[in-house]
């Protein structure tokens, strides 16, 4: 295992200084694979947050005015610094989060890729010249960084979510405050270390850990914060939207999901099984785009159920840093309990556990990869986000039935379907109420695409040419008397 101790920062980065919480309080960071404490980070509150906001606010005018070529060079340096530390950052991510090392490596690479993408996009934040309806006038728009941006990130992708948030914010010329999830703060604090090393000016990147309620309360109420970019649960997203209303902040929300995975009779069975394994069991089922519900057409149901459950039972459950690990531990005891409750609820309502269905013999936070056949709409996981390694199989007969069931949720983040009928593919595009749709493909995310949910899965897009828009204000000017 690569040593990552040189990347551990057990302090907040506020106004260019690495500092403890005002009262010296700390939060233990544990390795979910074995419960060991790997670091202690500050348990900060509102006053530390206020100082971080003031620092970002003071730094903003100068950073926003920095020549674009210099800003782009800083971003490129940050991209290189992430790749220079790739192995150590991946090892640290696996240690605090639990995901297999191969997935952690992929996540860190993705962090770097987003930074590079936005470094390039910074050069294309064009305004427009608008044809004037009245003679003697020129109409034009210009685009400007919104100001201080606060980024709040979840524990399941603690590194790459900052690629999607710090990437566009810093590229646009905004200054930032980052609050990483308490379970995985190290992968957030390291961005402060790297930004400092790359020469980002004091106050452009502030990172602080601690009480979500106190830090969040200060961020949402402080008028110096122009924008909040949040990735996390829909419940907390709604709370932040309500709290921030009094200061009319710009809000980007990447929230929960409940992804359907539809297998039609004409699907390539082998590819559908391989896709379902990735879409369901990546990060032990703890991703917002993980499939929650697998709808399988009657003509292929038995063959799919048998091949899929065989592949699921072959998954190697092990600590993320063990060779060949395919599923690591869950994040905490509450997650394990929630998964156990989902299985009990499904069994009580007639679901048949055909693989797994119990805590793993490794003990601790490990749970068996699980397949439940004969799932029905009244089971809890039909409407709630599972966020764990349970794959429920629902049988359906018609395309209409599958689409209606797939859309029968408040969420609208990702959906997948396996079919070879080209007409159906376009019907799915029209009718599935989802922001991200994978047809015969599940690894669909990269910096080039507009990532984001519909309905209660969020507001705004991350990545693509749209990803920097939310960090820019448009000003219009009319010049008369020409």
Print the SS3 string covering the chain: CCCCHHHCCCCEEECCEEECCCCCCEEEEECCCCCCEEEEEECECHHHHHHHHHHHHHHHHHHHCCCHHHHHHHHHHHHHHHHHCHHHHHHHHHHHHCCCHHHHHHHHHHHHHHHHHHHHHHHHCCCEEECCCCCCCEEEEEEEECCEEEEECCCCCCCHHHHHHHHHHHHHCCEEEEECCCCCCHHHHHHHHHHHHHCCCCCCEEECCECHHHHHHHHHHCCCEEEEEEECCHHHHHHHHHHHHHHCCEEEEECCCCEEEEECCCCCHHHHHHHHHHHHHHHHHCCCCCEEEEEEEHHHHHHHHHHHHHHHHCCCECCCCCCCCCECCCCCHHHHHHHHHHHHHHHHCCCEEEECCCECCCCCCCECCEEEECCCCCCHHHCCCCCCCEEEEEEECCHHHHHHHHHCCCCCCEEEEECCCHHHHHHHHHHCCCCEEEECCCCCCCCCCCECCCHHHEECCECCCCCCHHHEEEEEEEECCC
Task: Tell me the number of residues near ligand NAP by CB under 6 A.
Answer: 28
Active site residue 462: no
Nearest residue (CB) to ligand NAP, 11 versus 212: 212
Catalytic residue (choose from 174, 198, 288, 290): 288
Applying CB under 6 A, among 26, 50, 239, 466 the residue interacting with ligand NAP is: 239
Least distance between ligand NAP and beta carbon 64 (Å): 26
| Ranges within 374-413 binding ligand NAP (CB under 6 A) | 385, 413
- Does 232 interact with ligand NAP (rule: CB under 6 A)? yes
- Does 182 interact with ligand NAP (rule: CB under 6 A)? yes
| Ranges within 442-461 binding ligand NAP (CB under 6 A) | 453, 458
Applying CB under 6 A, among 26, 30, 233, 313 the residue interacting with ligand NAP is: 233
Encoded one letter per residue, x for contact with ligand NAP by CB under 6 A and - for no contact, window 92-121 reads ------------------------------
Least distance between ligand NAP and beta carbon 169 (Å): 16
Catalytic residue (choose from 96, 103, 107, 254): 254
- Does 236 interact with ligand NAP (rule: CB under 6 A)? yes
- Does 467 interact with ligand NAP (rule: CB under 6 A)? no
Applying CB under 6 A, among 117, 157, 342, 471 the residue interacting with ligand NAP is: 157
| Ranges within 265-294 binding ligand NAP (CB under 6 A) | 288
Q: Which residue is nearest to ligand NAP (CB)?
A: 216
- Does 158 interact with ligand NAP (rule: CB under 6 A)? no
Nearest residue (CB) to ligand NAP, 55 versus 156: 156
Active site residue 254: yes
Nearest residue (CB) to ligand NAP, 104 versus 267: 104
**Where in the sequence numbering do the catalytic residues fall?**
254, 288
Q: Which residues bind ligand NAP (CB under 6 A)?
A: 152-157, 179, 181-183, 212-213, 216, 231-233, 236, 239-240, 254-257, 288, 385, 413, 453, 458
């Amino acid at each position: 295992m690569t040593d990552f101790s040189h990347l551990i920062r057990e302090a907040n980065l506020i106004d260019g200084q690495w500092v403890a919480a005002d009262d010296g309080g700390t939060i233990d960071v544990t390795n979910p694979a074995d419960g060991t404490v790997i670091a202690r980070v500050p348990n900060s509150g509102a006053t530390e947050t206020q100082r971080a906001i003031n620092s970002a606010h003071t730094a903003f005018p100068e950073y926003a005015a920095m020549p674009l070529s210099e800003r782009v060079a800083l971003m490129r340096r940050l991209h290189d610094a992430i790749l220079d530390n790739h192995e150590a950052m991946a090892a640290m991510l696996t240690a605090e989060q639990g995901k297999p090392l191969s997935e952690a490596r992929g996540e860190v690479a993705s962090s770097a890729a987003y930074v590079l993408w936005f470094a390039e996009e910074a050069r294309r934040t064009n305004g427009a010249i608008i044809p004037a309806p009245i003679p003697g006038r020129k109409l034009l728009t210009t685009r400007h960084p919104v100001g201080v941006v606060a980024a709040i990130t979840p524990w399941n992708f603690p590194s790459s979510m900052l690629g999607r948030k710090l990437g566009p914010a810093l590229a646009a010329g905004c200054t930032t405050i980052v609050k990483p999830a308490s379970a995985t703060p190290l992968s957030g604090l390291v961005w402060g270390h790297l930004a400092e090393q790359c020469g980002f000016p004091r106050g452009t990147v502030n990172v602080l850990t601690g009480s979500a309620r106190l830090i969040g309360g200060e961020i949402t109420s402080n008028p110096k914060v122009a924008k909040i970019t949040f990735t996390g649960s829909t419940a907390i997203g709604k709370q932040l939207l309500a709290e921030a209303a009094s200061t009319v902040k710009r809000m980007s929300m990447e929230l929960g999901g409940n992804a359907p995975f539809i297998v039609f009779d004409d699907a390539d069975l082998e590819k559908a099984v391989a896709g379902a394994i990735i879409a369901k069991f990546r990060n032990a089922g703890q991703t917002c785009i993980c499939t929650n519900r697998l709808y399988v057409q009657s003509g292929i149901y038995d063959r799919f159920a048998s091949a899929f459950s065989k592949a699921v039972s072959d998954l190697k459950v092990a600590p993320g840093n063990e060779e060949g690990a395919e599923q690591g531990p869950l994040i905490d005891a509450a997650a394990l309990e929630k998964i156990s409750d989902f299985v009990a609820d499904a069994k009580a309502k007639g679901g048949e556990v055909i693989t797994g269905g119990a805590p793993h013999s490794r003990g601790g936070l490990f749970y068996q990869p699980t397949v439940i056949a004969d799932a029905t709409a009244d089971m809890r996981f039909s409407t709630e986000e599972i966020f764990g390694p349970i794959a429920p199989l629902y049988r359906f007969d018609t395309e209409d039935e599958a689409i209606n069931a797939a859309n029968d949720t408040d969420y609208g983040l990702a959906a997948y379907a396996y079919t070879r009928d080209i007409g159906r593919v376009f019907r799915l595009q029209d009718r599935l109420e989802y922001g991200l749709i994978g047809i015969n493909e599940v690894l669909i995310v990269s910096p080039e695409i507009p990532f984001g949910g519909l309905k209660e899965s969020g507001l705004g897009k991350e990545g693509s040419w749209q990803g920097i828009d939310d960090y820019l204000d448009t000003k219009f000017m009319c010049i008369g008397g020409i």
